[in-house]
Amino acid sequence: MAFVGCQDCDAVVEEPDVPDGGSAICLRCGGTFFRRQRRTVEFTLALTMSAAILFVVANAYPFLSFEMQGQVTHTTLASGTAALWEQGRYAVAALVFLTTILAPALQIGLLLYVVGPIHLAGRAPGAVVAFRWVERCRPWSMMEVFLIGILVALVKLADMAEIVPGLALWAFVLLIPTLAGTSAFLDPEIVWREIGDLE
């Protein structure tokens, strides 16, 4: 048995069973306890699968190409991290790897592992632990900060070399709102209700 509290009048009641798209309303003051997203599992799964495809493209193809004095250099997310490591900037390299590659990969992979079986009316073993790690990885996924840094670098390097955006850059740009959409549509309470009795 679970209880919820009203944020307006502090009334505590047993958590009602609310269907997708519905709301739980406080009988005392009329405030909203919570809202249920409509088709949260389906939307989250679709966006997570899209994010997985974009993530693979963002890591498999060149991010940027630099042409200077007839020489063309292609960069990827992994090569940028490796270059920082080779220059002895170990902390920065580790931070870039964590926030742009590892944390998003874990967030996407674990969400697919948890939400996919729920959509198919099944339950993945270890889903409780996996979903806890989804919540832990989300704050470390800072791709938008990395993208701002890339844009600043592009402005500074525009006069020195010809810069050609690669396919990975556009995939990376699309990946940011797609991952944000998974957080917007995901209703953790519904997921916990489906997987909570596993462990």
Cα atoms in the Cβ-side hemisphere of radius 13 Å centred on 94 = 4
Binned average pLDDT, 10 residues per bin, the chain of 199 residues: 71 73 75 70 91 92 75 77 87 88 92 91 87 86 76 71 80 89 83 67
Cα–Cα distance, 75 to 34 (Å, whole number): 46
- For domain 39-195, give the CATH number: 1.20.140
Q: Are 135 and 181 in contact (CB under 8 A)?
A: no
pLDDT, position 198? 39
- Quick one: tokens of 86? 């080779």
pLDDT, position 7? 74
pLDDT, position 84? 82
Between the alpha carbon of residue 171 and those of residues 16, 17, 61, 105, 165, the distances in Å are 41, 39, 9, 14, 11
- DSSP conformation letters of 60-115: HS-SEEEEETTEEEEE-HHHHHHHHHHTT-HHHHHHHHIIIIIHHHHHHHHHHHHH
Cα–Cα distance, 113 to 67 (Å, whole number): 41
Return the number of other C-beta atoms located less than 10 Å from residue 163's C-beta.
16
> What are the residues facing 3 on neighbouring strands?
14
pLDDT, position 33? 64
Q: Delimit the CATH 1.20.140 region(s) of the chain.
A: 39-195
pLDDT, position 21? 66
At position 58, the amino acid (one-letter code) is A
Cα–Cα distance, 47 to 65 (Å, whole number): 29
Task: Identify the residue whose tokens are 């699309």.
Answer: 174
Closest CA to 98 of 81, 76, 110, 114: 81
pLDDT, position 63? 81
Q: pTM value?
A: 0.75
Cα–Cα distance, 34 to 16 (Å, whole number): 10
Burial 41-76 (b: 16+ CB within 10 A, else e): bebbbbbbbbbbebbebbbebbbbbeeeeeeeeebb
